[in-house]
Amino acid sequence: MKTIATVDLPAHVQVPSYDRAQLRSKIVHIGFGAFHRAHQALILDRVLEQQSSDWGYCEVNLFGGEQLIKDLRAQDHLFCVAELGAQSTDYKVVSSVNESLHVSLDGTQAIINKMAEPQVAIISMTITEKGYCIESGSGRLDLNNPLVLSDLATPDEPKSALGFIVAALAMRRKLGLNAFSVMSCDNIPENGHLAKAAILDFAKQLDGEFASWIESNVSFPSTMVDRIVPAATPETLASIEVALDVADPVAIACEPFLQWVIEDNFVAGRPQWELGGAQLVDDVIPYEEMKLRMLNGSHSFLAYLGYLAGYPHISDTMADQQFKDAAHQLMINEQATTLSMPEGTDLQAYARLLIERFTNPSLKHRTWQIAMDGSQKLPQRFVDSILYHRERKQAHPLLTLGLAGWIRYIGGVDEQGKAIDVQDPMLTQFKDIYNTSEDDIVARVLSLPSIFGNTLSHDKNFVSEVQNAYLLLKAKGAKQCVASTNTTNASF
Ligand code: NAI
Ligand code: CS2
């Protein structure tokens, strides 16, 4: 069978020029999904183009993505990244992946053994927000999470990413090997601290002394990761096939923009990511907050209200001037104002760039995809900023409207009366609230402590503001509400 690895690709496709034989699996990455291919794997590839180095990836999938791993192996671990600009597309073959494992193809032990090999210096992760099994209210491990309960009962047969990491660290300690660094590349605030809390809480349940060993030997650098990478669709794969002249089922399309800010804190070395465009800094937190509130916060606002208004993609919401203005105002008036950034950061320019990125018509990023897992995303995207404003008695009408949009969305019925396919780990709780409430849906949703903490539900004015926005949404629909909540008439 012809694959990307066996054919001569057309001249407009950038192909690797370095010797792959030197690569070793020094980074084990958990979560070979859309994002990792177009971000960390591509950045390492850029580094390898500029410097002779043995840093390579072993990709691991624990949940789903089995066919993807089979396809990846069938094409010698090569795949194409297509960067879709508003006018033109660049195609690049990424070759920084050395090998791959899947729990159902290779078994649990093979993955633990790989992570315990002496050359492994970093375990990185893009496992989605819910992969960390954290209670967002407390930031601690959720000891009632079914995966955690199962892994603590049988630590040699882990299922969660945390369980695998802890089992591999136990094996390394037993073998007298050094530890590795654990690097989260997920969209969660202080992702390094959160990964550390989850892993230490998990290890403490097994053995306090082992947990202290982890604390002294493992580092957990935080990272801010950014590139819009929608899920691959048959249409994007078909157009990439035309450009490559061969099918590539592992190919992924994304926007041209890319950013990676990494806390420089690695116990066993790291690639020279700077050569691939990453920024290595001492403190990532301000960059994370900027991105989570301004980019992801407005993404979620557009996703819930855009979906309700009947817009399938983010670029469709941007073609509606009222949505575009509202997103910009949300960024500037209600998110940027909550941030403390290093001197010289230009948040106005950042917001302008975000609007331009969201507008890219080549990028078919579904509002439904971004709307997924809201219970895991809202705390860092909306709630932290809402708390900031309420402490200062400042108005936040767009955050309130976004939140009301989410509450309407999780009700599972759109403005045309059609069912919404709501995907969320808390779906059962949402359904229970909707099925057993009369007029108190909003109040009951706002009383979910794992999303909203314990103070907001006691703030009567806040609850009634969200209730009013929710009722208005029901009565008038998302388009009218977005238009009437725009606080200035200035068009962006
Ligand atoms: P995806 O759906 O393509 O891949 C998700 C990956 O997570 C899969 O490899 C799956 O095996 C793994 N996974 C899911 N649940 C898991 C669990 N409980 N434990 C372990 N692994 C689990 O999604 P995609 O686009 O790769 O995004 C993944 C994450 O990357 C996002 O949730 C976000 O935190 C981060 N990210 C994504 C961006 C994007 O635009 N797609 C941009 C910036 C960050
Ligand atoms: C999006 C993000 O799916 C979502 O929730 O908001 O994945 C977004 O595309 C990225 O964070 C951009 O870096």
| Measured distance CA(434)–CA(411) in Å, rounded | 6
Q: Which of 37, 83, 115, 126 to mutate to test the pocket of ligand 1 (most atoms within 8 A of CB)?
A: 126
According to CATH, what is the number of the domain 13-281?
Answer: 3.40.50.720
Per-residue pLDDT tens over the stretch 450-486: 999 999 999 999 999 999 999 999 999 999 999 999 7
Task: Give just the sign of the alpha carbon dihedral 289, 293, 295, 300.
Answer: positive
Q: How many CB atoms lie within 10 A of CB 140?
A: 14
Q: Quote the Cα angle for 330-254-221, to 5°.
A: 75
Distances (CA, A) of 160 to 66, 172, 405: 16, 19, 32
Edge-to-edge order in the sheet of strand 89-94 = 13-14, 89-94, 79-84, 252-254
Q: Say which amino acid occupies 331.
A: M
Q: Which residue has the tokens 């309700």?
A: 308
Q: Which residue has the tokens 């249409």?
A: 235
| Measured distance CA(369)–CA(232) in Å, rounded | 11
- Looking at residue 138, what is its pLDDT? 82
Domain 285-484 has CATH 1.10.1040.10: yes
Residue 396's φ and ψ, nearest 5 degrees, are: -150, 60
| Measured distance CA(108)–CA(159) in Å, rounded | 8
Provide the token pair at 334. 């209600």
Per-residue pLDDT tens over the stretch 163-211: 999 999 999 999 999 999 999 999 999 999 999 999 999 999 999 999 9
Beta bridge partners of 133: none
What CA dihedral angle connects 116, 170, 35 and 42, to 10 degrees?
Answer: -30
Predicted TM-score (pTM) of this structure: 0.96
User: How far does the centroid of ligand 2 lie from the alpha carbon of residue 8, in Å?
Assistant: 34
Domain boundaries, the chain: 13-281, 285-484
Positions of the chain with pLDDT lower than 50, given as ranges? 489
Q: Which helix or strand (DSSP H or E) is residue 94 part of? A: strand 89-94
Q: Which of 43, 184, 187, 315 to mutate to test the pocket of ligand 2 (most atoms within 8 A of CB)?
A: 187
- Looking at residue 492, what is its pLDDT? 56
Residue 120's φ and ψ, nearest 5 degrees, are: -70, 125
| Measured distance CA(286)–CA(428) in Å, rounded | 35
Taking CA atoms only, the protein residue closest to ligand 2 atom 3 is 370
299 lines ligand 2 (CB under 6 A): yes
- Looking at residue 137, what is its pLDDT? 74
What DSSP string runs through 54-109?
A: -EEEEEEESSS-HHHHHHHHHTTT-EEEEEE-SS-EEEEEE--EEEEEEHHHH-HH
User: How far does the centroid of ligand 1 lie from the alpha carbon of residue 26, in Å?
Assistant: 21
